[in-house]
Amino acid sequence: MGQDVQITSDATFEADIIGRPGLVLVDFWAPWCAPCRTIAPILEELAGDYAGEVAIAKINADENPGSGEAHMVRGLPTLILFSDGLEVDRISGAVGKTRIASLIDRHLEA
């Protein structure tokens, strides 16, 4: 345990996510979005569960519209998994923790 969810923004997205080696799961969320608030604690747990293997980040899509637009985010929450800066998978909606973990595992084992 013991890894925080990283907060990123349009200004730092390139450095935080695209330029980062390995797997990074990015949560596009907004404060008004109830399903986003439902999965937020799940992502915090996953950050601990996968510490050292996968980084978990979140970006407020309202305050940072550029990144969502660039990655064609059409609904919230949307989770996009990047591997060495390239999108390799995505999942939308208030999905369960096991499904998110399963998505990560698929790419960790690839």
Partner 1 sequence: MKLSAFHGDPAVRHDALDRLGSHMERKARIAGAFQWDGDKGTIAACLIDSDDKREWETRLGLAPWLAFALDAVTTNFATPRAVDAASALLKKIPLGADTQAGASRSILLLLEDLTTAEPLERPLANVLASAREIHTRLIGGDDAEPSQWRRLRRLAVDASEVVPAQDGAGRVIEAAAWSPLGSPTAVGEVLRHAIHAAAARMHQGSDWTAADEDRVKQLLTEMHETYILPDPNERRDVFELLAVHHPTVEARLRAHVQQGNQFSIDAAEHMLALLLKAIGNDALDAAA
Which residues are near partner 1 by CB under 8 A?
A: 1, 31, 34, 36-42, 45, 49, 96-99, 101-102, 105
CB–CB of 20/85 below 8 Å? Answer: yes
Q: Is 51 helix (H, G, I), strand (E, B) or coil?
A: coil
The catalytically annotated residue of 36, 46, 47, 76 is: 36
CB of 36 to partner 1, least distance (A): 8
Catalytic, 2? Answer no
Of 70 and 99, nearer to partner 1 (C-beta) is 99
Within 10 angstroms of residue 19's Cβ, the number of other Cβ atoms is: 11
Residue with tokens 């985010």: 73
Q: Does the annotation count 33 as an active-site position?
A: yes
